[in-house]
Amino acid sequence: MSILQIIKYPNPILKTPCDALHQEIPGVEQLINDMQDTLIAHPFCVGLAAPQVGTLLRIVVVDCSRSRKPCKHHGNLVLINPLITYREGEQVMREGCLSVPDYTGNVKRAVSVVVEGLDSDEIPQKIEAEGFEAVVLQHEIDHLDGILFLDRITSLKTDVFRRKNY
């Protein structure tokens, strides 16, 4: 078990788009295992993207079952090269991020999404998600494109909040 260090804003790696995996890269399986261990080590954390641990590859791990928020979830997901292929609706939810530990913010996102990518065995996956799980997937995929939730805030004055505890 290896807990990886979380990269914090304003580190420029968080604003750098990630490279897709088109071939087998040594150490990817270990990276995924370490990302899952890192997610588990942070209470209430439901998603983690590779750039948050210093790796510019298009990999996310998500497990919404760790949340207190009610949602229909797919359990523990590993997605390589995830891509949102469909979005529907609009909702505003309060988001936080391990890489921006001192703040949360109201972010407008799609209510439901379809995400396609590969699992850790490189088997194609098509995930249909809604509500909280859809938000988490959008948040983590944004990380792969160098986008933080702060970039999606409508008003820094009214939609960003200092976190009381973490």
Of the residues 95, 128, 133, 140, only one is catalytic, namely 140
**Can you say whether the dihedral through the CA atoms of 141, 143, 145, 147 is positive or negative?**
positive
Residue 46: burial class (beta carbons within 10 Å; 0-12, 13-18, 19+) = buried
Distance CA 146, CA 129 (A): 22
Active site residue 140: yes
Residue 120: burial class (beta carbons within 10 Å; 0-12, 13-18, 19+) = middle
Please state whether 41 falls in left (phi above 0), alpha (psi between -120 and 50) or beta. Answer: alpha
Active site residues per annotation? 140
